[in-house]
Structure 1
Amino acid sequence: MDTMRERFASVTSRLLDEDPRLAVVLADIGVDGFAAAARRHPDRVVNVGIREQLLIGVGGGLALTGLRPIVHTFASFLVERPFEQVKLDFGHQGVGGVLVSAGASYDWPSGGFTHMAPGDVALLDTLDDWTVHVPGHPDEAEALLRHAAAGDDRVYVRLSVQTNGAPRAVDGARFLRLREGRGGVVVAVGPLLDNVLAATEGTDVTVLYATTVRPFDGEALRAATGAADTSDVVIVEPYLAGTSTRSANDALADRPHRVLGLGVGRRELRRYGQLDEHLAAHGLDPRGLRERIAGFLTAPARA
């Protein structure tokens, strides 16, 4: 099976052939995947070199001319390093585009902390009107990329080397209800779905699957908690823990509820290790998730 990033390059190269409105902007990262597309469309595949602020600036400039830019590099270089340009060149200018990241929170541990971006979605949450997609499988990444490319809005697509075993039919908007239960609701985001399903196997909980986290599907969460005996919610995200707890609290503001946000911790892990070791260290492996989810959902609410 190809990776999400490989699928991104192949799908986007085909989209360049189909839609003259699209352009791709790169900062050296991912150039090889677009070599053939660059030969066919030299005016719409732009490599700015290792200049991430310029990467975003060029994307915003292309958007001002009426093109639909698709901008790509590692998440830490796409959102964190050029954040001012994201804020101004897209948001302040009122133009749309598609930011597509690689690397996620710790996909390449040996790259060190410079190549890790667990805070990317939380950072984008400080800006208005960004749609955020977090696919959990290459097929989902393709569907969400096509959805994003066809629009006019501002979209962030967060790719990862972590994948679930099977794709789901995602629509770029709604959460999917994969399991029904009465003892609480667990929202699994993107590539952490399989771990959540393993962690909750045999338990009486509802599992929602989220691949579009902004806008947050509060309606689906309300419906799921309304069908349960409790409005306790656990959100399991592959980035900074607690990123979506405010959204869940807002959705349930008119009813008693508790929300636990699980995800990547704030403490920096200073040993490279392997990806599965980072998952375990943050408690995002099936064993760690099972202990924390069960402990929260079975604990009595405080008066």
Structure 2
Amino acid sequence: MDTMRDRFAPVVSRLLDEDPRVAVVLAEIGKDGFAEARRRHPDRVINVGIREQLLVGAAAGLALTGLRPVVHTFASFLVERPFEQVKLDLGHQDVGAVLVSAAASYDWPAGGYTHMAPGDVALLDTLDGWTVHVPGHPDEAETLLRHAVAAGDDKVYVRLSVQSNAQARPVDGERFVTVREGRSGVVVAVGPVLDAVLEATEGLDATVLYATTVRPFDADALRRATRAAGTDVVLVEPYLAGTSTAAAGEALVDVPYRVLGLGVGRAELRRYGRVEQHTAAHGLDARSLRERISGFFGQAAAGS
């Protein structure tokens, strides 16, 4: 199966052909995927070199002229390094862009901590008006990319990962999807952690919601699920643990509730290792999730 990033350049290249407003801004990373598109649209495929602050600033300038810029590099270079430009050039000037990241939280362990960005969504949470998509499958990534580019002049972040669920789910860029229904708790699985969550909750009497758009947070879906399953809620996110606990709390502000936020820990793991080893170390593998979720709900699955 191809990866989400494998889909990125072909999809956006087609969008360049279809929509004269679309522009692509790169900082060396990913440029080879747009070589042909650059020949066809030299004025709308721009490589600024290894200058990430300029990457976002140039995108804001294009947006001010009426274009719809799609901006791409690793998450740590797209959100963290040029955060001032994201805050001011886009946010303060009230112009939109589609930021599309690669490498997620730890997709390239050999790159070291400079190429890891588990805090990207939490950082964007400090700003107003961002839509955040976290696809869990290449097909979903394609759908959400198209949705993001078509979203007027909004500020949109699309978080791509090499980690993927085995099958795509129907996503619409807005609502959570109910994957499993139960009566003893709700688990919200974000993007590529869904398969691990489904394995971890097998035999537990829990509702599983699948989220690929986490901002705005689908408060209505969570409220509906808790009416039948109770207000014990576990959030499993492929980035910084606890990123969405405040959003869940706001959704349930009028009822007593408990919430557990699972995700990438704050401790830096200094050995490169493999993606799977980082997943296990952060407790995001199915075995660890089962122990933590069942313990929180106070349940023991049959045969566990």
Q: Does TM-score exceed 0.5, indicating one fold?
A: yes
Question: What letter corresponds to residue 233 of structure 2 in structure 1?
Answer: V
Question: What's the RMSD between the two structures over aligned residues?
Answer: 0.6
Question: What letter corresponds to residue 272 of structure 1 in structure 2?
Answer: Y
Q: For residues 244-259 of structure 1, what are the structure 2 equivalents within 5 Å? A: 244-259=244-259
**Counterpart in the other structure of 1:16:** 16
Q: For residues 250-269 of structure 1, what are the structure 2 equivalents within 5 Å? A: 250-269=250-269
Q: Give, in whole Å, the separation in 1 of the partners of 2:233 and 2:91.
A: 32
Post-superposition CA distance 1:252-278 (Å, at most 9, x none): 011010000000000000000000000
Q: Secondary structure at the match of 1:234?
A: strand
Query: What is the CA-CA distance between 1:44 and the residue it aligns to?
Result: 0.2
TM-score of the aligned structures, taking structure 2 as reference length: 0.97
Indicate yes or no: 2:217 matched with 1:213. Answer: no
Q: Give, in whole Å, the separation in 2 of the partners of 1:298 and 1:252.
A: 21
Aligned length: 298
Query: What is the CA-CA distance between 1:112 and the residue it aligns to?
Result: 0.0
Indicate yes or no: 2:233 matched with 1:233. Answer: yes
Q: Give, in whole Å, the separation in 2 of the partners of 1:170 and 1:179.
A: 16
Deviating 4+ runs (over 2 angstroms): none
Indicate yes or no: 2:176 matched with 1:175. Answer: yes
**Counterpart in the other structure of 1:3:** 3
Q: Give, in whole Å, the separation in 2 of the partners of 1:37 and 1:195.
A: 37
Query: What is the CA-CA distance between 1:6 and the residue it aligns to?
Result: 1.1
Post-superposition CA distance 1:53-106 (Å, at most 9, x none): 000000000000000000000000000000000000100000011000000000
Q: Give, in whole Å, the separation in 2 of the partners of 1:197 and 1:254.
A: 29
Q: Compare 73-82 and 290-299 and name the one that shifted more.
A: 290-299
**Counterpart in the other structure of 2:302:** none
Indicate yes or no: 2:99 matched with 1:99. Answer: yes
Q: Give, in whole Å, the separation in 2 of the partners of 1:225 and 1:295.
A: 18
Runs (5+) with no aligned partner, structure 1: none
**Counterpart in the other structure of 1:272:** 272
Indicate yes or no: 2:65 matched with 1:65. Answer: yes
Q: Secondary structure at the match of 1:156?
A: strand
Question: What letter corresponds to residue 84 of structure 1 in structure 2?
Answer: E
Q: Secondary structure at the match of 2:162?
A: coil
Q: Secondary structure at the match of 2:261?
A: strand
Question: What letter corresponds to residue 244 of structure 2 in structure 1?
Answer: S
Query: What is the CA-CA distance between 1:227 and the residue it aligns to?
Result: 1.1
Post-superposition CA distance 1:18-74 (Å, at most 9, x none): 000000000000000101100000000000000000000000000000000000000
**Counterpart in the other structure of 2:198:** 197
Q: For residues 150-189 of structure 1, what are the structure 2 equivalents within 5 Å? A: 150-151=150-151, 152-189=153-190
Runs (5+) with no aligned partner, structure 2: 300-304
**Counterpart in the other structure of 2:47:** 47
**Counterpart in the other structure of 1:290:** 290
Indicate yes or no: 2:124 matched with 1:114. Answer: no
Query: What is the CA-CA distance between 1:202 and the residue it aligns to?
Result: 1.2
Query: What is the CA-CA distance between 1:2 and the residue it aligns to?
Result: 1.4
Q: For residues 80-91 of structure 1, what are the structure 2 equivalents within 5 Å? A: 80-91=80-91
Q: Give, in whole Å, the separation in 2 of the partners of 1:274 and 1:217.
A: 33
TM-score of the aligned structures, taking structure 1 as reference length: 0.98
Q: Secondary structure at the match of 2:277?
A: helix
Q: Secondary structure at the match of 1:262?
A: strand
Post-superposition CA distance 1:184-225 (Å, at most 9, x none): 000000000000000001110000000000000010000000
